[in-house]
A and B are shown apart, each in its own frame.
Chain A
Amino acid sequence: MPKAIFMTIVFLAVTSSAMAMGTSDCLDCHSDDSLTKNVRGSEISLFVDEEIYGQSIHGDLDCTDCHEDLADVQDEHDEELKPVLCSNCHDDAAAEMEAAGHPAECSDCHGKHAILPPSDSRSSVYDLNVPGTCCTCHSDQETPDVCVQYESGMHGIVLIRSGMIFSAVCNDCHGSHDIRGAGDPASMVARVNINSTCASCHKGVAETYKGSIHGEIFADSPEDAPVCTSCHSAHDTERAMDDTFLLTVVKRCSSCHEEMGYTFSKNYHGQVTGMGYTRAAQCPDCHGAHGILPTDDPASMANPDNLVATCGKCHPGANRNFTMYMPHADYHDAQRYPMLYYVYLAMVVLLTGTFAFFGIHTLLWFIRAYLEKLRSRSGGAH
């Protein structure tokens, strides 16, 4: 094939006039869809589809507007071209890319000759196509695979399965050119920024959160407060009413509220939740979710004055008496729950006493009865 190219170049050199190259000149060769070159052992197509290029956002530009090094070339050019500098025009985007350090070329996401505006549904950066574009690199890059996670998460389901364009795609949370790792404080997904990133869509939730105890702590010291992603997964985002969320929410809350998580699991709601029964109460059912307030706050769902309504959501007819149930009681804790502790202790004594007495009784009986049986058997043999 290189021989064929050489012959073509020679042919062109002989036949073309000595003028600066125009797009039509380039296409004399590059409209051949079998035109390739060999780069480190693999065939690279050098074909440019004139029709698609014409429809692209750069369709009015000449080849040499981007391939500047060819501006003065007559007829033939080196096999190796200089990289195209998009930054000549797109200086803002290039500066962002440079600062953020996302190791990708413009063409990795936008393509080369077929670049279309992001609003065009054929564009590689059209919302519906963004995950596919990012995942050409990011699939299999991390464990777990963020691309697989996104697909099974709520955002992915809404975008891919329901085809809804307003769902969050990669760049809505990670930025388009200003893509930084989560560890970078300037990143859109950094701990300090994630709340406002989510809030660009989830406006109402963000407002509620700001009024909550978690929001209050966040305002003072963001490192000490849970942010959106502390409770909601980043890529495989569940719906809060889904079993997968409800069955793991206790674990999420417990990552900070460890003792409450433990005492919850020791009581009825926690036990049936532990058995996979989501109709029982989990943390948010009594404490709220985004607008969570400390129990001593009069507006808190778990404030004693509001418990009749809170318990009543699941237990219609619950009265003041009913709310005196202690969903976080720990009968091992003699200091805080002496009554429960002594009831438990009495049961332990009852169980131990009964089993000790009858255990010994049974053991002795077995030995005696067995000896008797042996004796009567040998007696019978005589």
Chain B
Amino acid sequence: MNENSHMENAGRGERWYLRFNYYHRFLHALIIISFLGLVLTGMPLKFYHTAWAQKLAGLMGGIGVAGLIHRMCGAITWLYFFLHLIFAAYYVVKVRDEPLGKWFLGPNSMVPWIKDLKDVIGHVLWFLGMGERPKFDRFTYWEKFDYFAVFWGVGIIGFSGLMLWFPEFFAQMVPGWTFNIAIILHSDEALLAAGFIFTIHFFNTHLRPEKFPLDHVIFTGRISEEEFQHERPLEYERMVEQGKLSSLETTPPTKTSLVWARIAGFIAYGVGLIMILLIIYSALKELH
């Protein structure tokens, strides 16, 4: 109730604030490109016995070419992983304006803490009509989960991928049966990642009724005041309290940037939706 009246007072699209800087957006673009590339070139191998896998690989010029694209996208994945680590280190050393411990467990950190646990419970209770919607901060628990899913995913898939890319090199350190394990991890973790991103992440971030059809913030970096207050009230209030809100204020997203955001977003949806349907279809068929 309170939120709703607040929203109306703020008016529609009056003020805009910067949520993601260029670096964030650039890294996310790298993730989109490399991830779609990896799924398109990797899944045919996992489902090699299906007609769609053969066709998809054929479109790319055969599984040899697909393998090459897959490795290139893998390299991009490692690139953004390290670019992010550099950014994180830079943030902790140069940008952070609060004590390390306070920052680490605070709202500007991706580390999940007690508030996130409370939010999970509170959110589910709200789903069930058994309470108020929790007030979220800069990063919600599902966003933190997304973040660590990618972090863990890149670690597991990326490292097992490297092992399978350079088996002769890794065999100098580990026995060959670790490649058998690496294949299981690589393949099933990839299934988890693709399944999660193309359903849960797409819904949580873009497709749920409040955001439908697309939340452009990751492309434009901008969030409207109305949405800021509704989606991240704690951060908004803190910014007001600390007098930092005006420093976040920015120009509204341009029409062109919104068009590009939609094009990029819908391409990703399209690829994701097709792939997830093919995967589910084949997985069910295999179970059968």
Contact = CB atoms under 8 A, between A and B. Distances in A.
A268 B129 CA distance: 49
B4 A376 contact: yes
A319 B171 CA distance: 7
B208 A267 contact: no
A279 interface: yes
A87 B210 CA distance: 98
B167 A275 contact: no
A315 to B, nearest CB: 5
B183 A344 contact: no
Interface in B159-195: 164, 167-169, 171-177, 179-181, 183-185, 188-189, 191-192, 195
B192 A354 contact: yes
B49 interface: yes
A358 B181 contact: no
B134 to A, nearest CB: 12
Contacts of A319: 168, 171-172
B214 interface: no
B203 interface: yes
B223 to A, nearest CB: 18
A77 interface: no
Contacts of A274: 48-49
A362 interface: yes
Contact of B62 (A277, A326, A376): A277
B175 A340 contact: no
B203 A362 contact: yes
Interface in A227-260: none
A351 interface: yes
B176 A364 contact: no
A272 interface: yes
Contacts of B54: 275-276
A131 B62 CA distance: 37
A73 interface: no
Contact of B176 (A317, A322, A331, A366): A322
Contacts of B192: 347, 350-351, 354-355
A275 B57 contact: yes
B200 interface: yes
Contacts of B195: 351, 355
A271 B186 CA distance: 14
Interface in B218-254: none
A201 interface: no
Interface string B42-80: 001110110001100100001110110000000000000
Interface string A355-380: 10011011011111110110010010
Contacts of A359: 199-200
A182 interface: no
Interface in A284-328: 315-319, 321-326
Contacts of A61: none
Given A268-B164, A318-B171, A365 B184 contact: no
B284 interface: no
B85 interface: no
Given A343-B181, A347-B189, A351-B195, A321 B63 contact: no
Contact of B184 (A275, A347, A367, A376): A347
Interface in A113-166: none
Contacts of B129: 368
Given A321-B171, A324-B176, A372-B209, A276 B164 contact: no
Nearest to B49: A274
B87 interface: no
Nearest to B192: A351
- Interface SS of B by simple majority: helix
Nearest to A278: B64
Chain B contact residues (Cβ within 8 angstroms of A): what range?
35 or more
B124 interface: yes
Given A275-B63, A364-B124, A351 B191 contact: yes
Contacts of A369: 208-210
Nearest to A376: B4
Q: Which of A318, A365, A370, A373 is the most central at the interface, judged by chain B CB atoms within 10 Å of its CB?
A: A365
A116 to B, nearest CB: 51
B282 interface: no
A12 interface: no
Nearest to B168: A317
B206 to A, nearest CB: 12
B82 interface: no
Contact of A326 (B126, B176, B189): B176
A265 B179 CA distance: 16
A321 B174 contact: yes
A94 interface: no
A351 B195 CA distance: 9
A69 to B, nearest CB: 67
Nearest to A267: B183
20 contacts: A272-B63, A275-B54, A277-B67, A279-B64, A321-B171, A321-B174, A321-B175, A322-B167, A322-B176, A324-B177, A325-B167, A329-B177, A339-B181, A340-B184, A343-B185, A344-B188, A347-B188, A368-B127, A370-B209, A373-B209
Given A368-B128, A373-B209, 10 more contacts: A277-B64, A277-B67, A315-B167, A318-B171, A319-B171, A324-B175, A329-B177, A344-B188, A351-B195, A358-B200
Interface of B: 4, 44-46, 48-49, 53-54, 57, 62-64, 66-67, 123-124, 126-129, 164, 167-169, 171-177, 179-181, 183-185, 188-189, 191-192, 195-196, 199-200, 203-204, 208-210
Q: 8 tightest A-B contacts by CB? A: A325-B176, A324-B176, A322-B171, A364-B127, A275-B63, A347-B188, A317-B168, A274-B48
